[in-house]
Amino acid sequence: MTSFTCSPGEKVSGTIRVPGDKSISHRSIILSSIATGVSHISGFLQGEDSLNTIRAFQQMGVEIERQQDRVCVKGAGLHGLTASATDLEMGNSGTAMRLMLGLLAGQSFDSRMVGDESLSSRPMLRVIEPLQAMGASIASEPGGRAPLQVRASPGLKAIEYDMPVASAQVKSCLLLAGLYADGETVVREPAPTRDHSERMLRAYGCEVTSVDREIRMPAGQQLSACDVEVPADISSAAFFMVAASIASGSDITLQHVGVNPTRTGVIDILKLMGADLELLDQRDVGGEPVADIRVRSAPLSGIDIPVELVALAIDEFPVLFIAAACAQGTTRLSEAEELRVKESDRIQAMADGLTQLGVTTQVNADGIVIEGGLMGGGTVDSHGDHRIAMAFSVASLCAQQVICIKDCANVNTSFPGFADLAQQAGINIRIGD
Ligand code: S3P
C-alpha cells in the first residue's frame, strides 16, 4: 500500500504546470467519441480516471490513439458505438460512471459498468431515477450502487428536471442522455455548478442555452469533431495555492490553469482568508478561461465560508481545511453535505486526520468547524482518497513533526507525478510502501 512520508518543509517556489483538468479530459473523450470526424485533444490528463474513460470507448469500438497528453479520437458518430464484450471499468471515477450512464442509456445495446470499492459505495440513484423517468432501463445493486447494468433503449423521452442536488455530474448525464431523446431536454440546477459540458457541447456544434440556472438542449443534435486544449486542473493547482499561502517566504506561479468561473470558489475562499493570489495573462482557450496564477505566502484568517461558494469549490475542501488549520481563528463550513459522498466521506476523513495532528475540529452533518493553530505530526489515513492524501502532504509544510499518510496510490487517479512535482516545488515528500 503506497504511503507518503512528509517532513516539515520551509517554502514552495518556482513556476510549475499541473496536469490537465480531469472534468474536461473525461468530457473531451466522451464528446469526441460520439462526434463525426477526427478530434485532437492536447493537455489530456494521463490519470487513471481519464485513461479508464479512453479504454471504455475503445471497448465500444472507437479508434483512439494517445501519445502522452495528446489524444486523437476518430469519432463514431452519435449512433456508431458498439457493445463492449466485457464490463466497462470506471475505477474510482464518479464523473465517468455518472456521465457515461447517461450516454449508455440512449444506446441500442446493453452495457455493464463496474467500479472500485469507493465508487461501488457512492450514490447513483441521483442519475438512475431521472434516466428511468426518460424511459431508460437500468439495474443496480441495492440502494442504487454500482455495478450498473444498462439495457438497450428503444428511444428516450425528453424530460424537464429540477435537480435536488447541485451536481454537474447529474446535469451532464442528463444532457448526454438528452442527445438520444425525442424532445427538448431541460435541466434546472439549485445552485450554479461547473459548466464544462455546456461549453464543450457548444464547441462541438450543439445548441445548448443556459439562462438563470436553467439549461435547455433541443432534440436532434449532431456533434462535429473539435480540437480541445485541456487547461491545467484548478483542483490540482489548489494544493500549491494553499502550500504557497501557508509556508512563509513562498512564491509560486501555476501556469495555464483553467479559471472557469464555475470552478474558482477556491480562489475566492482563499482571498477571503487573506491569501495573496494574482491572476496573470487571463485568456480564452477553446471556450474555457485560462490564467497563470501567482501565489505568495500571506497570513490567513479563519472565515465563515459563504454558502454560495460551496458548489464552486466542492473538490478543493480537503486542502482548504488545511488552510483553515493553519489560519488564525475559526473557519466554519456548512451546507456541504455533498462532501460526505465523494471518493471518501471528506468531512469525517479530514476531521480524523486533523485530530491526529492535534488540530481541534467539530464535525457537523453538513460541514465542519476548524480551529486554526499549531499542527503537530502523526499518521493519517487518506482512505484511498486522492485529494485527502495530497491535502495532508501540503499540511506538512506547517507541521512540527513528520506526517505519514497511508493509502496514497489513488493520487494517480487525478494527479500522476504529484510527489515529484511537490518535491520539486519544496514539499519534503517521500513515497514508500
Ligand atoms: C465533476 C463534478 C463534481 C466534482 C467531480 C467532478 C464533473 O461532482 O466533485 O470531481 O466533472 O462534473 P458533482 O457534480 O457530483 O458535485
Boundaries of every domain in the chain: 3-20+231-432, 22-229
Per-residue pLDDT of 89-103, as tens digits, reads 999 999 999 999 999
pLDDT band at 155 (very low <50, low <70, confident <90, very high): very high
Per-residue pLDDT of 4-14, as tens digits, reads 999 998 899 99
Mean pLDDT of 31-51: 98
% of the chain surpassing 90 pLDDT: 98
Q: Measure CA of the first residue to CA of the last residue in the chain; give whole Å.
A: 5
Q: Are 111 and 153 in contact (CB under 8 A)?
A: no
CATH 3.65.10.10 holds for 22-229: yes
pLDDT reported for residue 260 = 98
Q: Which amino acid residue places its CA nearest to atom 15 of ligand 1?
A: 167
Per-residue pLDDT for 21 more than 90? yes
CA–CA dist 31, 138 (Å, integer): 22
Q: Is the CB of 174 under 6 A from ligand 1?
A: no
Per-residue pLDDT of 167-224, as tens digits, reads 999 999 999 999 999 999 999 999 999 999 999 999 999 999 999 999 999 999 999 9
Per-residue pLDDT for 371 more than 90? yes
Distance 23 CA to ligand 1 centre (A): 7
Query: Which of 45, 103, 314, 343, when mutated, tests ligand 1's pocket best, judged by the most ligand atoms within 8 Å of its CB?
Result: 314
pLDDT reported for residue 154 = 87
Distance 192 CA to ligand 1 centre (A): 12
pLDDT reported for residue 364 = 98
CA–CA dist 387, 422 (Å, integer): 14
pLDDT reported for residue 153 = 87
Q: Is the CB of 168 under 6 A from ligand 1?
A: yes
Distance 167 CA to ligand 1 centre (A): 6
Which ligand 1 atom is at minimum distance from the Cα of 342?
9
Distance 311 CA to ligand 1 centre (A): 9
Catalytic residue among 21, 49, 315, 385: 315
Per-residue pLDDT of 246-274, as tens digits, reads 999 999 999 999 999 999 999 999 999 99
Average pLDDT, the chain: 98
CA–CA dist 171, 156 (Å, integer): 16
Q: Is the CB of 95 under 6 A from ligand 1?
A: yes
Which ligand 1 atom is at minimum distance from the Cα of 235?
10
Same fold, 3-20+231-432 and 22-229: yes
Per-residue pLDDT of 108-137, as tens digits, reads 999 999 999 999 999 999 999 999 999 999
- The number of beta carbons lying within 10 Å of the beta carbon of residue 85 is 7
User: How many residues does this entry show for the chain?
Assistant: 433
pLDDT reported for residue 398 = 97
Q: Is the CB of 169 under 6 A from ligand 1?
A: yes
pLDDT reported for residue 9 = 86
Per-residue pLDDT for 433 more than 90? no
Distance 231 CA to ligand 1 centre (A): 17
pLDDT band at 1 (very low <50, low <70, confident <90, very high): confident
Per-residue pLDDT for 59 more than 90? yes
Which ligand 1 atom is at minimum distance from the Cα of 314?
9
pLDDT reported for residue 195 = 98
Give the fold, CATH level 3, of 3-20+231-432: UDP-n-acetylglucosamine1-carboxyvinyl-transferase; Chain (3.65.10)
- The number of beta carbons lying within 10 Å of the beta carbon of residue 151 is 15
Confirm whether 195 is a catalytic residue.
no
Mean pLDDT of 382-390: 98
Q: Is the CB of 391 under 6 A from ligand 1?
A: no
Distance 328 CA to ligand 1 centre (A): 30
